[in-house]
Amino acid sequence: MTQYLIQIQTAPNGVGVGWLAKSFVVSESSPIPTSWPANRVQVVMTNTDSYTEIVAVYAEYRENAIFSYDAETGKINCSGAYTGSWDIN
């Protein structure tokens, strides 16, 4: 099963809050980080369609798409220039 990693900015850093700070396909050469900046939330997901759509929304809207992660529901949400919600698995 393919895994994808997304890190979402959760505190100001000069760019803003909610931007997609990092995203990639997990592989042997790009493993899941064991540590990351305290001002980010890291999400490991397996839903290929959701990952592809999230990356496409970010590519189109950049920092105008505000992402957040709801661990309780297992969803990444987006507001701002684009509104949507995606299951991580």
Tell me if 38 sits within 8 A of 51, measured CB to CB: no
For the chain, the farthest-separated pair of C-alpha atoms sits apart, in whole angstroms, at 36
pLDDT tens string 42-59: 999 999 999 999 999 999
- At residue 3 the predicted structure's pLDDT band, cuts being 50, 70 and 90, is very high
Averaged pLDDT for residues 26-53: 97
What is d(CA 78, CA 68) in angstroms, rounded to the nearest whole number? 6
Tell me if 23 sits within 8 A of 55, measured CB to CB: yes
Please state the pTM of the whole predicted model. 0.92
- At residue 15 the predicted structure's pLDDT band, cuts being 50, 70 and 90, is low
DSSP H helix total and E strand total for the chain: 1, 6
What is d(CA 40, CA 21) in angstroms, rounded to the nearest whole number? 8
